[in-house]
Amino acid sequence: MYDYLPTPAVVIELAQMEENIRKMTEAAAGYQIKVRPHIKPHKSVEIARLQLRMGCSGITCAKLGEAEVMAKGGIDDILIAFPLIGQEKMQRLKILSRKARVITIVNSEEGARQLSETFQNSPDKIEVLIEVDGGINRGGKKPYEPTLEFARQIAGLPGIDIKGILYYGGTIYGETDREGFEKTSAREREEMLGTARMLENAGFHMEILSGGNSYSSKMPWLLEGITEIRPGHYLFNDVGQLMSGFAKEQECALRVTASVVSIVDERHAIIDAGSKTLTTDICARKEGYGYVVGRPDITISKLNEEHGFIESEGRLGLEIGDKIAVIPNHACVVPNLAEEVYGIRNGKLDHLIRIDARGKNR
């Protein structure tokens, strides 16, 4: 598999990625939900444009630096799902807002004040969503009354326009079975719609109810009523999705191909992909640092920076120079470690894909 590629190499199966995008947008559309995907799994202008062509309504960026790269690439509807703090970021945001429609989030009076001071004399207000905590205590306001109280505190600030709420139900990643995934998704909908109704009754216009994650977004019938979802690695899938039953092996479009560079014994060998390629992210549902395609008996048991330690339940059956394909535990962090990734179609190299926003973490 991918025998013609130099290793280690990050590979995208293009047809499968496109199918994953299509399935998400079509399923969400059936419940009148827009898809505004996170670009942090791929950080590629090319892939972001593909997502928009295939029906996504805009994009989500984790950081301002990513948004700047995407806007330079011609993308003009961007949500920055991270609180921006400090005058340096305020000035960059102001410049960016002249190039694209930009929405950002607020979760503190200080952050809202800084946005207000930056945009109060601008011809257009900055659109903001109030961040609502989905249970992981990562900065948002608690649902219902705390969110309403915060909205009232910032409502009179000039220069900002409250467009709705943003919710991230991160506790879902701790669930272990389908019942848990569904229960957590249903709670997401309940808390979002309940909070939005409370704000509406208090006079706030809730145009945007932004939620969803890479699990709940695959169950849009449980999110009906919200306006948009922000899935990330749905276009690739990974070991987390595979082991939880939300993806099949062939639906995992992102792989890392690696070569065997040393044989330790009949059950142990070394590959040329370590932590600087696969990352040290783990998956609670599977031991090791990735899933070897077609070889569930192999475990990637340890990583050094450039070395991967693999072992098998029985005889490994590999020789030096053989190549394996690995589905990463967490797809979102792997492309950021590469300048380019290989786009494969029908078993052949189609083209190289540039990771334009690589390292843009500020």
Right CATH for 15-232 from 3.20.20.10, 3.10.580.10, 3.40.50.1860, 1.10.287.990 = 3.20.20.10
pTM beyond 0.85:
yes
- Domain boundaries along the sequence of the chain: 15-232, 246-354
Chain centre to alpha carbon of residue 240: 13
Strands (E), the chain: 9-13, 34-35, 59-61, 77-83, 101-106, 126-133, 160-168, 208-211, 228-229, 254-265, 268-271, 291-292, 298-303, 308-312, 323-327, 340-345, 348-354
Q: What is the CATH number of domain 246-354?
A: 2.40.37.20
Give pLDDT tens digits along the chain (362 positions): 789 999 999 999 999 999 999 999 999 999 999 999 999 999 999 999 999 999 999 999 999 999 999 999 999 999 999 999 999 999 999 999 999 999 999 999 999 999 999 999 999 999 999 999 999 999 999 999 999 999 999 999 999 999 999 999 999 999 999 999 999 999 999 999 999 999 999 999 999 999 999 999 999 999 999 999 999 999 999 999 999 999 999 999 999 999 999 999 999 999 999 999 999 999 988 999 999 999 999 999 999 999 999 999 999 999 999 999 999 999 999 999 999 999 999 999 999 999 999 999 99
* Share of the chain residues as helix, strand and coil, in percent rounded to the nearest 5: 35, 25, 40
